A and B are shown apart, each in its own frame.
Chain A
Amino acid sequence: MAVKSMTAADNAAAPVPVPLTEQDLAVADRIAGTSIFLGASALLIGVTLGVMQGLEHVGINLYKYVQPWVATYYHGLTMHGVLNALVWTTFFIVGFFTYAIVRSLNRPLRYPWLNVLGLLVMVIGLLTAAVPMLTNNASVLYTFYPPMKADWSCYLGLTLVVVGSWMAGWGYFFTLYAWRKEHPGQKQPFIALTVSITMAMWQLATLGVAAEILFLLLPWSLGLVQGTDPLLGRTLFWFFGHPLVYFWLLPAYVSWYAMLPAQTGGKLFSEQLARLVFWLFLLLSTPVGFHHQYTDPGIPQAWKFLHTTITFSLAFPSFLTAFTVVASLEVGARALGGKGYFGWIRKLNWGNPSYAAQNLAMILFVFGGIGGITNASFNLNLAVHNTIWIPGHFHLTVASASTLTFFGILYWLAPALTKRKLFAPKLALAQAWTWFIGMLLMGNALHLLGLHFGAPRRTMLGSAPYASPDWNPFLMESAVGVTFLAISATLLYIVLIGTLFNKKSDVEVKMPVAEPLNPSQSIPKWLDSWTPWVFGAVALVLVAYGPMLYQLIRDIELTSPGWRVW
């Protein structure tokens, strides 16, 4: 229903909606398919390295068998972080979004060439960064903290990946804008809106890392300046680093809110709150980066506090999400005959791998969220900073909440894109459960190792002289988890590759779309307009980062020489 009623005059002024043809769909799906294929290929290498890390911790050193491809633990760890957290996520998200936005708007991409170009730039960037990374010329881990110095081509490549994803975002913005012109007075469709909000947040967030690379790291690694400023580098990195985690998470939220309820017979419980949540993420995601720098020198307490406060404000939309999503699923389960306070949970669509994977991802995210609040707490952070608690935490978030949700999405999206049936759905179901169990065990063990023993992260623990026998039970628990994960990853690729070679099916798989529970609910104007939120987000970033960045730039000292020590 329209927010306001339209007159004939309004209608006449609006351009005629452009119909979505088979050909338009084919273009969008080609982009989506290519992007997701590349992302999933990167993940294959990434998880293999993850398993090697987990086994190294219990003294099983597999690195000697992969010389010189993976020269050292740290060479592997760099690729694990980059391929999983940056490449798999970004490529999957761009693919998924491209597929979803044209369906949500029922309109072709406004400038398909822009989205094609975006993907092309991402691929060129990926190849550029891959050369130094594979040859052990950039083993600086995925955070590339200066003054450790990678080959310049690594920085350049990563920048191109980001620039390509910007272009994908611009493509969505133009498409949504065209739709709005063609449909004056109508509220923006939920999926298209939330896809665009995620990409808008990403534009703002990536300015930090773009500035770090263009102004500090590239001139320095090219030899144009002699030194660099490590704190300014860290600050610009974390300007980007926290919203990065919301860039991983929001696509999962899009699915949980707008698609998953439909996969279990449910409806979107409260569209108003759901929209509010996404706007709040646009507003609040970026000005929180200092919560990664609580234990850094050179940043006054007051600024750290401000960022803590905004971080806890961000917990608010996450709590709302928990409520709305669970209520939406409950609606479905009750419609299917579920009873009791908790009895309805059994009626959810557990037999469907796409559904089960995403619901399991949510459960892991509950633990990830609790851990996240701990990390963000100013004082508790002193105890867990840089310990292996932190990888314990984010394997429940990015590697579970996001990644396992993406697997769930793939279980309908891969058949939709390839027009083939999902290969071995039972194996897909087993994949979801083994990932769940594996991450639960590994996550639990790493959390405890970090908290009780202060075991460090980013460390070849199996060779560390200080590793104590007290750690062994937890390391073993982690290794059992890693074994489950290795099985799970194998199942994943059996299912995906099997689907790729399955025979063509005539049954058309459609994107699941959850209808709002209360379709007559109108959306207030402030939840449908961009201006206040975009300006608010920029203003908040200026307030929360402006003075400190000004000071760091004013006092910049490019004196730290680069180090290549791996």
Chain B
Amino acid sequence: MLAPPQNWWKPLSRMERSWVIVAFVWCLVLTIMMPLWFFLGRQNVPVTTYRVTQAEYFESVNAFVEEYQVDTLQGIPVVEPPPGSDVYLLARQWQWYPVLKLKKGEEYRLHLSSMDTQHGFSLQPTNLNLQVLPTYDYVAKIIPTQSGEYGIICNEYCGIGHHIMTSKVIVTE
């Protein structure tokens, strides 16, 4: 082997170097924003997940409905759980079950899971989106900040009735 020539490469020109630095710093700032927001921001990705069987989850939902049902809306029970409690929502072809009635300013643990394919939980018009998978119970801590009626739609393709899969959350004062 030969000894390599001394100057392997010319150092970057001034323009190249400054651009490399700008690009690098920019990426650094973007990256640091992430953990910062995680601690300072008010809305973050939920962290709690349980593995469940579909039958287990179905049982939890039914027990939940039985205990707190207050009304029926187009054949689907309306459920008003006490503040601070566990709230169960089930996605299946092609409905959300049951309809939830929550109190403004109170915290709830919202459980999400599917009975069949994947679904997408999408709250309207606040625009909050979570993926819903069968056999996983995803728990989001939520505090409704405004009263009124919110829509829930499905935004993950789940078959031919995907676009009619809607429901609502009623938030009372």
* A454 pairs with B129, CB closer than 8 A: yes
B-side interface residues, number (CB < 8 Å): 71
Closest Cβ of chain A to B29, distance in Å, is 9
Binds B, one of A155-163, A289-297, A475-483: A289-297
**Shortest Cβ distance from residue B140 to the other chain A in the assembled complex, whole angstroms:** 10
Given contacts A297-B136, A378-B37, A385-B129, whether A319 and B51 have CB atoms under 8 Å apart is no
A-B contact pairs, 29 of them (CB 8 A): A4-B2, A4-B4, A74-B159, A145-B117, A145-B118, A230-B136, A273-B12, A273-B16, A273-B20, A293-B131, A295-B129, A297-B131, A297-B138, A298-B49, A301-B38, A319-B23, A319-B27, A320-B20, A378-B38, A379-B38, A379-B41, A453-B124, A456-B120, A522-B10, A559-B54, A559-B135, A563-B93, A565-B117, A566-B160
Does the CB pair B44–A270 fall under 8 Å?
no
The residue that A557 contacts in the complex, of B5, B19, B129, B135, with Cβ under 8 A, is: B135
Of A77, A304, A383, which contacts B128 at CB under 8 A? A383
Residues of B within 8 A of A (CB): 2, 4-5, 7-10, 12-13, 15-16, 19-20, 22-24, 26-27, 30-31, 33-35, 37-38, 41, 43-47, 49, 51, 53-54, 93, 112, 116-118, 120, 122-131, 133-138, 151, 153-164, 166
Q: How far is the CA of A234 from the CA of B15 in the complex (A)?
A: 43
A523/B9 in contact, CB under 8 A: yes
User: Residue A550 at the B interface, CB < 8 A?
Assistant: no
The answer on a CB contact under 8 Å between B9 and A301 is no
* Segment of A16-24, A308-316, A505-513 in the binding face: A308-316
Closest Cβ of chain B: how far from A234's Cβ, in Å?
8
Interface of B is mostly: mixed
Given contacts A297-B138, A563-B93, 12 further A-B contacts (CB under 8 A): A4-B4, A270-B16, A294-B45, A296-B131, A296-B133, A297-B133, A298-B133, A298-B138, A308-B34, A313-B31, A319-B23, A454-B129
A312 and B31 in contact (CB under 8 A), knowing A304-B45, A451-B127?
yes
Give the complex CA separation of A319 and B27 in angstroms. Answer: 9
**Considering only CB atoms, which chain B residue lies closest to A379 in the complex?**
B37
**A496, B44: Cα distance in complex, Å:** 49
Q: Are B45 and A379 in contact (CB under 8 A)?
A: yes
Given contacts A379-B41, A385-B129, contact A456 B122 (CB under 8 A): yes
Give Cα A304–Cα B120 distance, bound, in whole angstroms. 19
B8 CB to nearest A CB, Å: 4
Chain A residues in 8 Å Cβ range of B24: 316
Q: Give the residues in chain A near B112, CB-CB below 8 Å.
A: 297
Contact between A74 and B162, CB atoms less than 8 A apart: yes
Q: A301-B45, A382-B128, A387-B129 are in contact. Are A272 and B159 (CB under 8 A)?
A: no
Least distance between A14 CB and chain B CB atoms (Å):
14
Taking the closest CB of chain B, its distance from the CB of A162, in whole angstroms, is: 22
Chain A residues within an 8 Å CB radius of B136: 230-231, 297-298
> Does A203 belong to the interface (CB within 8 Å)?
no
Closest 4 CB pairs of A and B: A565-B159, A456-B155, A319-B23, A297-B138
Residue in chain A with minimal CB distance to B49 = A297
Task: Report the minimum CB–CB distance from A104 to chain B (whole Å).
Answer: 21
Closest residue of A by beta carbon distance from B139: A297
Chain B positions within 8 Å of A555 at CB level: 51
On chain A, the number of residues with a Cβ less than 8 Å from chain B's Cβ atoms is 76
A7 at the interface (CB under 8 A from B): yes
> Which of A165-173, A175-183, A189-197, A462-470 is near enough to bind chain B?
A462-470
- From B35, which residue of chain A is reached at the shortest CB distance? A305
Cβ–Cβ < 8 Å partners of B47 in chain A: 300-301
A458 interface residue, CB < 8 Å from B? yes
Chain B minimum-CB-distance residue to A72: B160
CA distance A565 to B164 in the complex (A): 14
Shortest C-beta distance, B99 to chain A (Å), equals 15
Q: Are A3 and B163 in contact (CB under 8 A)?
A: no
Question: What is the CB-to-nearest-CB distance from B152 to chain A, in angstroms, rounded to a whole number?
Answer: 10
Residues of B close to A300: CB separation below 8 A = 47
Output the nearest chain A residue to B123 by Cβ-Cβ distance.
Answer: A454
| B155 vs chain A, min Cβ distance (A) | 3
- B154 partner residues in chain A, CB cutoff 8 A: 456
Q: Are A565 and B133 in contact (CB under 8 A)?
A: no
- Asked whether any CB of chain B lies closer than 8 Å to the CB of A554, the reply is no
Give Cα A323–Cα B20 distance, bound, in whole angstroms: 9
**Which B-chain residue is minimally distant from A273 (CB atoms)?**
B16
CB A122 to nearest CB in B, in angstroms, measures 27
A5 within 8 A of B: yes
- Identify the closest chain B residue to A463 (Cβ): B163
- Residue of B with least CB distance to A77: B157
Interchain CA distance A7-B2 in the complex, whole Å = 9
Q: Which residues of B contact A373 (CB under 8 A)?
A: 30
- Distance in Å from the Cβ of A524 to the closest Cβ of chain B? 4
> B118–A148 contact, CB under 8 A?
yes
In the complex, whether A61 has a CB less than 8 A from a CB of chain B is no
- In the complex, residue of chain A having the shortest beta-carbon distance to the beta carbon of B23: A319
Judged by a CB distance under 8 angstroms, whether A560 is at the interface is: yes
Evaluate contact between B160 and A295: CB separation under 8 angstroms.
Answer: no
